[in-house]
Amino acid sequence: MARERKFSTVDLYQSTKHLLLEHGYDGFTFSMLANRLDISRGALYKYFENKEVLISEYMVFEMKKFMVQLHKIQEYKSFEEKFDYLIHLIFHDQEIHRLREIGLEIPRSPNTKVHENQEQLDQLHYEMYTSLQSFVELGKQEGIIKPSIPNGLFLGFIFQTIAIPNHENLPYSEWVSSIKEILRHGMFKI
Amino acid sequence: MARERKFSTVDLYQSTKHLLLEHGYDGFTFSMLANRLDISRGALYKYFENKEVLISEYMVFEMKKFMVQLHKIQEYKSFEEKFDYLIHLIFHDQEIHRLREIGLEIPRSPNTKVHENQEQLDQLHYEMYTSLQSFVELGKQEGIIKPSIPNGLFLGFIFQTIAIPNHENLPYSEWVSSIKEILRHGMFKI
DNA sequence: ACTTTAAGTGACACTCGTGTCACTTTATGA
DNA sequence: TCATAAAGTGACACGAGTGTCACTTAAAGT
């Protein structure tokens, strides 16, 4: 019926991700993306009215992908297993944390599509939140986590932890197991 | 000799700080700053050739101020006291962490003034680093910190920790003491 | 072969931040 | 009181990103 597209949706999302992580929300431009995909800037406007639409749409895609992974946490029954899986997951999907922050930079827009995507993101975020909340609750029920720790703080520690820059370039496994150890039992002796 | 200035250096730094924290490095513009100081944009160019010069100069000011505080850690002798002081310090100077990140966004510039400021920032950063390193070493010598923990990870935990968003809006003292408790002895029982 | 239709192009007009500069304003001290 | 010099102003030219649109290109169906 019509001419073949010069780029796939996968290409587009990959490039978007790459450019977002490299230049941040403000630094991202349609020119860059067009350039990377080897098409003209004008062509992009055939698919996305503007940056907000494109990025919010991409964010929904990325968050859905992450939630598929996160829901697998239900396959593990004990808190200990879930804990290991969660740490493993966020270390292997490091960017998601930064990307979620970038997603929050999209200005609340009156544009219908953007608004829909933002509502969907809110929904996904809420799902993530409840999923993680019940994970923490389980830890308390099983008597593994200290009950005095607020749930938000528990989760905050886990998510902030992965953003600690490994300046000394310690080997991955050593780094992760040190972090787990600190999360479990702290940095002080006894 | 000449006409009176419409703004003080303190005004200028305060406004710069405020705008940087609100809009980030890229979002910061001379128009905003001029507007806030109630002068014309052109006037700012009498003092700063461009954004890089202004912001790098401000960052040096802010870092020096922070280092004065940090050096006071030497007044405390035991590791425990130093630990308490450090946590207190970075909680009461929360923005410094975000500001330091923003400072790193200033592109390495050929401009002499910017270059000088950046070298001074590097120097200040190095001072901060060594000061904190010896703090950690003391903790290990005193047998308080687990020796297996890499120094960078120890410091990373402390600095990332303050960035955990207190979504549940727990009272400050409760929040801080929970964080200290986790840093000391972790989130798991026993 | 020819029409249809979506893909893609590049030029245009617009906005916004930048850096400059001739000009105006206003304290000061000679 | 008046020359001086720093403070401040606003207009200009420039570059970069935006969004649009008439136009060209190339598969696919008839």
- Tens-place pLDDT, residues A86-101: 999 999 998 999 999 9
Same-domain check for residues B7 and B94: no
B140 inside domain = yes
Contact assessment for residue B62 and residue B100, using Cβ atoms and an 8 Å cutoff = no
Could you list the residue range(s) of the whole structural domain that residue B67 is in? 51-185
Residue B135's pLDDT is 98
Same-domain check for residues B136 and B171: yes
| Residue B7, CB, strand D, below 7 Å | yes
B136 inside domain = yes
Q: Residue B40, CA: closest nucleotide via C1'?
A: D9
Same-domain check for residues A86 and A165: yes
Contact assessment for residue B159 and residue A163, using Cβ atoms and an 8 Å cutoff = no
Distance measured from the CA of protein residue A66 to the C1' of nucleotide C19, in angstroms: 46
CATH number, domain at A3?
Answer: 1.10.10.60
Residue B190's pLDDT is 81
pLDDT tens sequence across A141-151: 999 999 999 99
Same-domain check for residues A20 and A70: no
Give how far Cα A147 sits from Cα of A154, A173, B171, B182, Å.
Answer: 10, 29, 17, 12
Same-domain check for residues B141 and B171: yes
Q: Does residue A167 belong to the interface with chain B, where contact is any CB pair within 8 Å?
A: yes
B190 inside domain = no
* Average pLDDT over every residue of A63-83: 98
Residue of A nearest to B155 (CA): A164
Residue B143's pLDDT is 97
Residue type, B7: F
Residue A170's pLDDT is 95
Same-domain check for residues A92 and A165: yes
pLDDT tens sequence across A127-179: 999 999 999 999 999 999 999 999 999 999 999 999 999 999 999 999 999 99
DSSP-assigned letters across all residues of A88-112: HHHHHTTHHHHHHHHHHTSPP-S-H
Report the alpha-carbon distance of residue B31 to residue B8 in Å, rounded.
Answer: 18
Return the C-alpha torsion angle A131, A134, A136, A138, nearest 10: -140
Cα A28-A31-A33 angle, rounded to 5 deg: 65
Same-domain check for residues A104 and A87: yes
Give how far Cα B7 sits from Cα of A105, B12, B13, B57, B99, Å.
Answer: 32, 7, 10, 17, 23
Report the alpha-carbon distance of residue A55 to residue A20 in Å, rounded.
Answer: 9
C-beta neighbour count of A159 within 10 angstroms? 18
Residue A2's pLDDT is 78
CA of A6, closest CA in chain B: separation in Å?
Answer: 32
Same-domain check for residues B120 and B104: yes
| Residue B50, CB, strand C, below 7 Å | yes
A190 inside domain = no
* CB-closest option in A164, A165, A187 to B145: A187
Same-domain check for residues B167 and B96: yes
Residue type, B25: Y
Residue B153's pLDDT is 97
Give how far Cα A186 sits from Cα of B67, B80, B154, B176, Å.
Answer: 27, 15, 10, 15
Same-domain check for residues B33 and B58: no
Same-domain check for residues B104 and B19: no
Query: Phi/psi zone of residue B28: left (φ > 0), alpha (ψ -120 to 50 degrees), beta?
Result: beta
Predicted complex ipTM: 0.90
pLDDT tens sequence across A99-111: 999 999 999 988 9
Spans in chain B with pLDDT lower than 70: 1
**Overall domain count for chain B:** 2
CATH number, domain at B146?
Answer: 1.10.357.10
Q: Could you tell me which residues come within 8 angstroms of residue B27 by beta carbon, excluding any fewer than 6 positions away? A: A26
Residue B83's pLDDT is 98
Distance measured from the CA of protein residue A135 to the C1' of nucleotide D4, in angstroms: 75
A156 inside domain = yes
- Distance between terminal CA atoms of chain A? 72
Residue A188's pLDDT is 98
Give how far Cα B84 sits from Cα of A48, B133, B158, Å.
Answer: 52, 16, 11
Mean pLDDT for all residues in chain A: 96
Residue B1's pLDDT is 66
Distance, C-alpha A117 to centroid of its chain: 16
Residue B82's pLDDT is 98
Report the alpha-carbon distance of residue B86 to residue B77 in Å, rounded.
Answer: 13
A5 inside domain = yes
Residue B3's pLDDT is 87
| Residue A2, CB, strand C, below 7 Å | yes
Same-domain check for residues A93 and A14: no
Q: Does residue B150 belong to the interface with chain A, where contact is any CB pair within 8 Å?
A: yes
